[in-house]
Chain A
Amino acid sequence: MAAKLILSMDGSVLQEYVLSKERMTVGRKPHNDIVIENLAISGEHAAIVTILNDSFLEDLDSTNGVMVNGTQVKKHFLQNNDVIEIGKYKLKYLNEVQHQANGADFEKTMVLRTPSAAPAADNKTLAQSEPGIAPAQTAGNPAGAANVAAKKTGDATVVQKMVPPAAVQILTGANTGRELDLVKNLTTLGKPGVQVAVLTRRPHGYFITHVEGANYPSLNGRALDEQPHPLNNHDIIELAGIKMEFYFKD
Chain B
Amino acid sequence: MKLQEALEIASQTHSGMVRSHNEDSLTHDAACGLVVLADGMGGYNAGEVASGIAVSVLSTEIRQRMDEVRPEDKSAEGEDMGVVLLRENVKKANASIYSAAQNQPQYSGMGTTIVTALFYDNRVAVAHVGDSRMYRLRGESFGAITRDHSLLQEQLDGGIISPEDARVSKNRNLVTRAVGIEADVIPEVHVHEVCAGDIYLLCSDGLNDMVEDEDIGNTLQMLQANLPLAANQLIEMANDNGGRDNVSVILVKINGDFSVPRGWLDKLQSWLKN
Contacts and interface: CB of A to CB of B under 8 A. Distances in A.
Interface in A56-111: 56, 77, 79, 95, 97-98, 101, 106-111
Contacts of A30: none
Interface in A181-216: 184-186, 188, 192-193, 196, 198, 200, 202-203, 209-212
B241 A122 contact: no
A23 to B, nearest CB: 13
B223 A136 contact: no
B225 interface: yes
A127 interface: yes
Nearest to B244: A154
**A111, A196, A211: most-surrounded residue (chain B CB, <10 A):** A111
Nearest to A160: B241
B171 A53 contact: yes
Chain B's interface size range is 35 or more
Contact of B233 (A112, A139, A200, A212): A200
B222 A158 contact: no
Contacts of A51: 151, 155, 160, 171
**B170, B171, B190: most-surrounded residue (chain A CB, <10 A):** B170
Contact of B229 (A110, A139, A159, A209): A209
Interface in B122-173: 131, 144-147, 151, 154-155, 157-158, 160-162, 165, 167-173
A95 B170 contact: yes
Interface of A: 51-54, 56, 77, 79, 95, 97-98, 101, 106-114, 117-118, 120, 122-124, 126-127, 129-131, 134, 136-140, 142, 145-160, 184-186, 188, 192-193, 196, 198, 200, 202-203, 209-212
